[in-house]
Amino acid sequence: MGSHLPTGKLPRDLLASLLDRYTHPTPDVVLGPRIGEDAAVVEMADRYLVVSTDPITFASQEMGYYAVMINANDIATRGARPRWFLMTLLFPERGSHIEVEDLFRQVDAACRELHVGLIGGHSEVTPGLDRPLLVGTMIGEVAKTRLVVSSGAQVDDDLLLTKGIAVEGTAILAREGAAFLASRGYSEACIRRAQEYLRDPGIGVVKEALVAVDTARVSAMHDPTEGGLSSGLYELSEAAGVGLEVEETQIPILEETRRLCQEFQMDPLGLIASGALLITCHPRDTDRLLRAITGVGVPVWRIGRVVSPTQGVVLTGPAGARPLPAFDRDEIVKIFAV
């Protein structure tokens, strides 16, 4: 028997082997399953259909909102507009009508916020579960001239990041660990502020992604999620076959994120990161892109540049360059041991 798999995403080598052996896209698939790519792309007459699916595995509160937003993010990284949402809902045997309706209400509110239609899915009460599980599928569409893929990053492009790192992780820590944080002397206002990271600065990136493709020659976009900014950068590097040079002092870490990561002894670089958007663009477009994204109320920073693949993925700082830390599993897993 083989060894047990670690919690979190499948190991990259295993996933790459499985994708190589068991996926056989049809001729109308423009972009199929690849490591580092957020969504599949299928040719449909004069435009592309963009499809993504993601589960909610760490958050137990506001699952419906999470599910819509993180799936919409994947669509938006292709330069596409999210249009239609499907969901599979599995409830434990002791679930209540109130819990079911609450999840539907959350999904409806998020869909309305993004002007997305809930068009189908599946729901059931499933034996053996200790909590509800939700898997979402988002479908969007994009003009063929506007498609963006993670593999498009080019050497000498600038590397930008929106909002800050571990926005989603901060919200989950504050929501799932509220009682623990209160026992450690954190004020109710501080805990509530971190909990509201879900919506402010928010885990959605649709607005800034669509502004980016309207404004500049965006070569790639990627939505770092499980495994944090670090995993997102490695995925972008692998997808595009490039290296990345990241300025450590330019990585934005919000105050509540810093405090909670210290409390739970977590590295924010490896903490689930929905809410941040990685963008690469030609340096001549960087200033215009920074102004446009800031202009719609979303903070954004230039955090580095795309370099030769021989240089790897590195952090640079006053002490020089070092390899970017890699995380076998997301740092959020540690909260379940507290």
Which band of pLDDT confidence, cut at 50, 70 and 90, is reported for residue 330?
Answer: very high
1-5, 58-62, 119-123, 319-323: which is most confident: 119-123
Residue spans of the domains in the chain: they are 12-146, 150-337
Q: Is the pLDDT of residue 99 over 70?
A: yes
Q: Is the pLDDT of residue 106 over 60?
A: yes
Neighbours of 308 (CB within 10 A): 11
Residue in this structure with the two tokens 């990585």, named with its chain if needed: 251
| CA trace torsion 309, 312, 313, 314 (10° rounding) | -130
Q: Is the pLDDT of residue 60 over 90?
A: no
Could you read off the pLDDT of 136-157 as tens digits, one per residue?
A: 999 999 999 999 999 999 999 9
Residue in this structure with the two tokens 């404004």, named with its chain if needed: 215
Q: What is the CATH number of domain 12-146?
A: 3.30.1330.10
Which band of pLDDT confidence, cut at 50, 70 and 90, is reported for residue 2?
Answer: low
Can you tell me whether residue 321 is helix, strand or coil?
strand
CA distances (Å), 238 to each of 43, 115, 232, 279, in order? 24, 33, 10, 15
Tokens describing residue 154 = 């080019």
CA–CA distance, 62 with 65 (Å, rounded to integer): 5
Higher pLDDT, residue 7 or 252 = 252
CA–CA distance, 191 with 188 (Å, rounded to integer): 5
51 with 39: CB under 8 angstroms?
yes
Could you read off the pLDDT of 297-328 as tens digits, one per residue?
A: 999 999 999 999 999 999 998 889 999 999 98
The number of residues making up the chain comes to 338
CA–CA distance, 15 with 233 (Å, rounded to integer): 17
Q: Which of 15-29, 49-63, 214-228 has the lowest mean pLDDT?
A: 49-63
Bridging pattern class, strands 313-317 and 243-247: parallel
Q: Which residues pair with 56 in a beta bridge?
A: 134
167 with 70: CB under 8 angstroms?
no
Q: What is the CATH number of domain 150-337?
A: 3.90.650.10
Instruction: Give the mean pLDDT of 255-262.
Output: 95
Predicted pLDDT of residue 95: 79
Predicted pLDDT of residue 130: 86
Neighbours of 16 (CB within 10 A): 14
Q: Shortest CA distance to 279 belongs to which of 198, 115, 158?
A: 158
The DSSP line for 216-281 is S-EEEEE---TTHHHHHHHHHHHHHT-EEEEEGGGS---HHHHHHHHHTT--GGGS--BTB-EEEE
Q: Give the amino acid at 37.
A: E
Q: Shortest CA distance to 280 belongs to which of 231, 333, 236, 232?
A: 236
Q: Is the pLDDT of residue 100 over 60?
A: yes
pTM over 0.85: yes
Could you read off the pLDDT of 173-185 as tens digits, one per residue?
A: 999 899 999 999 9
Predicted pLDDT of residue 254: 95
Domains 12-146 and 150-337 share a fold: no
Tokens describing residue 169 = 């992780």
For the chain, what percentages of helix, strand and coil (3-state, to nearest 5) are there?
40, 25, 35
249 with 320: CB under 8 angstroms?
no
Q: What percent of the chain has pLDDT over 90?
A: 83
Q: Is the pLDDT of residue 65 over 90?
A: yes
